[in-house]
């Protein structure tokens, strides 16, 4: 079972994980609670497409752009559609 947590709070937990470029992508349905707030940040990847970011908010503290998803991934990255990955201090355990 993989998990993602921040400030001692589990944000996501699942045994259905996809790893791409060293990042664990969790199914959107595995996100626990209401800890993700959409961000206006986007980035482009030449083979995955446009990444849309989320701020992670726990107990009134915000970790900006600490999660991302590819809402419309390019064909080679289709396996990460409807999945979310984490970074910026989020503790991800496999």
**Which H, E and C letters describe 18-68, residue by residue?**
EEECCEEEEEHHHECCCCEEEEEEEEEECCCEEEEEEEEEECCEEEEEEEE
Mean pLDDT of the chain: 97
Q: Structural domain of residue 63, as residue ranges?
A: 2-93
pLDDT, tens only, 14-61? 999 999 999 999 999 999 989 999 999 999 999 999 999 999 999 999
pLDDT (0 to 100) of residue 92: 98
Q: How many structural domains comprise the chain?
A: 1
Supply the pTM of this predicted model.
0.95
pLDDT (0 to 100) of residue 82: 96
pLDDT (0 to 100) of residue 44: 98
CATH number at residue 83: 2.170.150.40
């Amino acid at each position: 079972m993989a998990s993602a947590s921040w400030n001692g709070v589990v944000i996501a937990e699942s045994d259905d994980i996809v790893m791409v470029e060293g990042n664990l992508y969790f199914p959107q349905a595995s996100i626990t609670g209401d800890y993700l707030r959409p961000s206006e940040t986007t980035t482009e990847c030449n083979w995955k497409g446009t990444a849309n970011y989320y701020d992670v908010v726990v107990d009134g503290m915000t970790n900006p752009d600490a999660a991302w998803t590819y809402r419309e991934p390019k064909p080679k990255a289709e396996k990460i559609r409807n999945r979310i990955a984490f970074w910026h201090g989020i503790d991800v355990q496999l």
